Structure 1
Amino acid sequence: MNVGPILAVDDEPLNLDALRQVLSRDHRLVYARNGQEALAAALAHHPALILLDIQMPDMDGYSTCLALKRNPATAHIPVIFVTSMADVWDEAKGFECGAVDYIVKPITPATTRARVKTHLSLVQASQLEQSYHDAISMLGKAGHYNDNDTGVHIWRMASYARELALAIGWSAEACRDLELAAPMHDTGKIGIPGEILRKPGKLNGEEWEIMKTHTRIGYDILRMSHSPVFEMAAEVALRHHEKWDGSGYPDGLSGEGIPESARIVAIADVFDALMVRRPYKEPWPVERVVAFMREGSGTHFDPRLIDNFLAILPKIMNLKENWDVFEVTHGATEPG
């Protein structure tokens, strides 16, 4: 994965040359001789890492680091102080300013290369994580590309699913995975003709059979990855329309034969769909939605999960209020 250059900042040319000799064989470097030049270079070159001297005239390293962290365009760039000031107080102050590490002059090649390698690895890991989240967002949005306007439905219901999973004792990591997996539950709709997805009236028998294939289409797309999130997403895509009493699709699974992830998402998905306005319906009042969910307990929904969901309903409604504010502020888009 490509990353930006390393920005070396020092008012002494000999110190910049020392960094060049140690790092230029393996890394692309750009240079600045003072704090103002460093701020400009960070904006111009988008460095992956900044090696920053502290003792500079006019604008010292601490002030430069603080300025970098105040600017949203540069705040994410890790800063390593490179300085002869080695006492504990200065080190603590450096970390308070936002630095991630500290190298003492005179630099040694082995230490400098090791520190740089470590922090560039973290940068690459962060970029990979961002790409991962971007892929999830795109797949979630793709599933509803030809659907009627659903606003932030997939992100909102994912937050409900996470809250329900937490309430029944899932680990924090598993809850996070479910929140990432849930927005992809309808990925398979990308394979359903738009005229069926956008049909204002009830689907006929042939159209309904086509619609039901979205579960297997989504599964076939998502199962190509062996990461835990995508494995869960494939499971949810395939099984979120199964019903507790076995009357669902695609395979008529029942009870605990349905993966718990899919049982959770089914509740979150239906609850949110009923609570919001759609082109073909007005939002239901919460009392009517709760009555519907209770009525479906033991037939459509897992009774234990319904009981837990209704027990945390105040938290769910608080999430909905937050999402309503987000949708008004940002429009029908995914969170950044």
Structure 2
Amino acid sequence: MKVVLVDDTHINLVLMSRLVDKLQGVSTIGFQSAREALAWCDAHPYDLLIVDYMMPDMNGLELIARLQAPPDQRPPVLMVTASVDLDVRHRALENGASDFLIKPIDKVEFLARTRNMLALRSATLSLQHRASWLADEVAKATAELCEREQETIMLLCRASEYRDPETGAHIQRMARYSRLIAAGLGLSDEQQSDLLNAAPMHDIGKVGTPDHILLKPGRLTPEEMTIMRQHAEIGYDILKDCKARMHKLAAEIALTHHERYDGQGYPRGLAGEAIPQAGRIVAVADVFDALTSVRPYKPAWSMEAARQHLLDHSGAHFDPRCVAALLQRWDEVLDIRARFQDEHGGPAAITA
């Protein structure tokens, strides 16, 4: 461990250095100039600062007050002083001093206090290292859990795609449109990432929709539409009991992405901000991409036609802020559309 000694008298530095040398595994560096000591301490690691109070260029109080590291983050400071003035001690404590020695120095007391200060420093460093190690381990474990969640998400999406005519490219696009909207609304990076990963499960409930309805090329009858709309509740029931944050968000999206801003949607007829924000975001992203995609019951709309549809129904079907957030990033929308084209086969992994 490294001990810094600061005293304007050379003989005092020599005596303190020889005393510290008696401690195993400890080295010293001495300064007669407080300013030089301050510059060195701010640029190098050390474990204990022993500083005299009375010095000509800068006293000990000024030195410890000017240290760059805040008192709770710096090594301990042992102040040596001939003064018994309580005001000096109080100011030293306020500036970050840990302990005091009164001149003339008693050898036994000096070694005991130095040993105690170094033991305190060693324990603090051990705690810091353990905290850092624990943080690394938690980060690794969290990353592994996120990876498992991603795998689960993609397996669920792939299972639904065996029955749903929507393509993997649709899932890729609408998930990214959702993230664009979230970014435009000022959501955090973490919230944007959560939407990117949870949005693909929005229609997982269609695994419970009969094929003759799901794949019907023509218009659904009122009875068939009632059955089709059950997929929102089914998706919610599939996901609602999951403990993972991502799946809870996916359950919320599955249940609410068919709600309308004017309250005319399903399954619960929620309106305005009573609809969870994630549901309002995915409603815009999903409908926009569905309009521009081929379905058994319709051809694909042009991007401009779909854009106009969002504007025409802003405030009725869609949250106006979500519509604006998407359309304000039109160049990115076009880029997503160009990157993820419809093709046969299952969905690719959701990637950034």
Question: TM-score normalized by structure 1?
Answer: 0.60
Asked if the contact 1:149–1:279 (Cα under 8 Å) also holds between the matched residues in 2, the reply is no
CA distance in structure 2 between the partners assigned to 1:128 and 1:258 by the alignment:
29
Amino acid at match of 1:129: C
CA distance in structure 2 between the partners assigned to 1:243 and 1:125 by the alignment:
36
Corresponding residue for residue 283 of structure 2: 266
| Paired residues, number | 221
Distance 1:300 1:118, change over 3 A: closer
Corresponding residue for residue 251 of structure 1: 268
Give 1:108-147 correspondences, 5 Å limit: 126-147=143-164
Report how far residue 286 of structure 1 moved.
1.5
1:175 matched to 2:189? The reply is no
1:155 matched to 2:169? The reply is no
| 3-state DSSP of counterpart to 1:174 | helix
Corresponding residue for residue 316 of structure 1: 333
Distance 1:257 1:149, change over 3 A: closer
1:333 matched to 2:350? The reply is no
CA distance in structure 1 between the partners assigned to 2:179 and 2:208 by the alignment:
27
Deviations 1:106-165 (Å, cap 9, x if unpaired)? xxxxxxxxx999988876655443221110011123233212242321121001101110
1:214 matched to 2:231? The reply is yes
1:190 matched to 2:221? The reply is no
Deviations 1:188-211 (Å, cap 9, x if unpaired)? 111111121111111112111111
Deviations 1:45-86 (Å, cap 9, x if unpaired)? xxxxxxxxxxxxxxxxxxxxxxxxxxxxxxxxxxxxxxxxxx
Amino acid at match of 2:283: A
Asked if the contact 2:202–2:254 (Cα under 8 Å) also holds between the matched residues in 1, the reply is yes
Corresponding residue for residue 40 of structure 1: none
Give 1:67-106 correspondences, 5 Å limit: none
Structure 2 counterpart of 1:205, from 208, 214, 222: 222
1:307 matched to 2:324? The reply is yes
CA distance in structure 2 between the partners assigned to 1:259 and 1:306 by the alignment:
15
Amino acid at match of 2:336: L
Asked if the contact 1:239–1:262 (Cα under 8 Å) also holds between the matched residues in 2, the reply is yes
Structure 1: state its 5+ residue gaps: 1-114
Report how far residue 270 of structure 1 moved.
0.8
CA distance in structure 2 between the partners assigned to 1:331 and 1:198 by the alignment:
17
Report how far residue 237 of structure 1 moved.
0.4
Distance 1:284 1:218, change over 3 A: same
The structure showing larger relative contact order (alpha-carbon pairs under 8 Å, at least 6 residues apart) is: 2
CA distance in structure 2 between the partners assigned to 1:173 and 1:117 by the alignment:
22
Distance 1:265 1:116, change over 3 A: closer
Report how far residue 273 of structure 1 moved.
1.0
Amino acid at match of 1:215: A
Structure 2: state its 5+ residue gaps: 1-131
| 3-state DSSP of counterpart to 2:161 | coil
Report how far residue 333 of structure 1 moved.
2.5
- Which structure has the bigger radius of gyration? 2
| 3-state DSSP of counterpart to 1:203 | coil
Distance 1:267 1:119, change over 3 A: closer
Distance 1:267 1:116, change over 3 A: closer
Amino acid at match of 2:322: L
Amino acid at match of 1:247: Q
Distance 1:233 1:118, change over 3 A: closer
Deviations 1:11-33 (Å, cap 9, x if unpaired)? xxxxxxxxxxxxxxxxxxxxxxx
Asked if the contact 2:171–2:347 (Cα under 8 Å) also holds between the matched residues in 1, the reply is no
Asked if the contact 1:144–1:186 (Cα under 8 Å) also holds between the matched residues in 2, the reply is no
| 3-state DSSP of counterpart to 1:142 | helix
CA distance in structure 1 between the partners assigned to 2:305 and 2:284 by the alignment:
15
CA distance in structure 1 between the partners assigned to 2:135 and 2:189 by the alignment:
27
Amino acid at match of 1:204: T
| 3-state DSSP of counterpart to 1:277 | coil
Corresponding residue for residue 182 of structure 2: 165
Asked if the contact 2:259–2:266 (Cα under 8 Å) also holds between the matched residues in 1, the reply is yes
- Identity rate, percent: 43
Structure 1 counterpart of 2:252, from 227, 235, 260: 235
CA distance in structure 1 between the partners assigned to 2:193 and 2:139 by the alignment:
21
Distance 1:118 1:204, change over 3 A: same
CA distance in structure 2 between the partners assigned to 1:316 and 1:293 by the alignment:
14
